[in-house]
Amino acid sequence: MGVCESILVGLLCALVGVILGGLLSWWLQGRYATDLLARLKDAVQDRQHVSLGEQFLLTRLLAGRMTANSYVPDVIFGLAPGGAMVAEWLSRRFVGTYDKPIRMRTIWVRTTRDPGNPIVKEAHVEDSMEGIRAEFKPNAKALLVTDICRGGATFEAAYKFLKGHFLHVETATLLQHDNAKVEPHYRVDVTNKDVRFDWKEAQATD
């Protein structure tokens, strides 16, 4: 075998190795995500409480949904209070990094409810966009995140508010209640439980 043929064989072997390695990594990542979600089913479907550690793992799975779609936002808006921690983890750990975090902001929504009725009558975003207009271009990709989308009124209000300032707005939630009136672009799972997170008080929220 000549030198050229040896080089060609070596290059082909290297290429095959890269392809096989990539396929193996993809398979392992999918297998890991499937196994992890299966372990989290206990938190999502069989219990009504999600610990901080489980919320961290759910955020990791949510990030996997986005990266599988090659989606990387320019700015992340955490819908307070539940989305703030999710946005932080996405910004500095799972989509961005500690060295190169994705810029993030917190967005607040004020809701009006009937006395004794958890259904939201009205939702208003109280944040000002003055600073945001200076920080980001209108064509920047904005991501709105929260921990759980229940009825969806506050989520929808925040989404419409951001759409008034950004051309590209996508939404993500760890959990979506099965009777939610909105459909996020990314989610980890659907639940019919009144799920509560470690930090959240036991009161009706949307």
Summarised one tens digit per residue, pLDDT across range 83-94 is 999 999 999 999
Distance between CA atoms of residues 52 and 48, nearest Å: 13
Is 79 in a helix, a strand, or coil? Answer: strand
Q: Which residue has the higher pLDDT, 197 or 171?
A: 171
- 197 with 147: CB under 8 angstroms? yes
Residue 116: the pLDDT is 61
pLDDT higher than 80, residue 16: no
Q: Which residues contact 151 (CB under 8 A, 6 or more apart)?
A: 118, 119, 120, 177, 179, 180, 181, 206
- Measuring CA to CA, which residue among 99, 113, 101, 94 is closest to residue 172? 94
Give tens-digit pLDDT for 103-147.
888 888 877 766 665 555 555 665 566 666 667 777 889 999 999
pLDDT higher than 50, residue 27: no
Number of Cα atoms under 13 Å in the Cβ half of residue 160: 12
What phi and psi values does residue 140 have, to the nearest 5 degrees? -65, 150
- Measuring CA to CA, which residue among 134, 135, 132, 89 is closest to residue 107? 132
pLDDT higher than 80, residue 178: yes
Is 100 in a helix, a strand, or coil? Answer: coil
Q: Read off the pTM.
A: 0.73
Lowest mean pLDDT among 113-127, 133-147, 153-167, 177-191: 113-127
Q: Token pair for residue 159? A: 């989404």
Q: Which residue has the higher pLDDT, 148 or 28?
A: 148
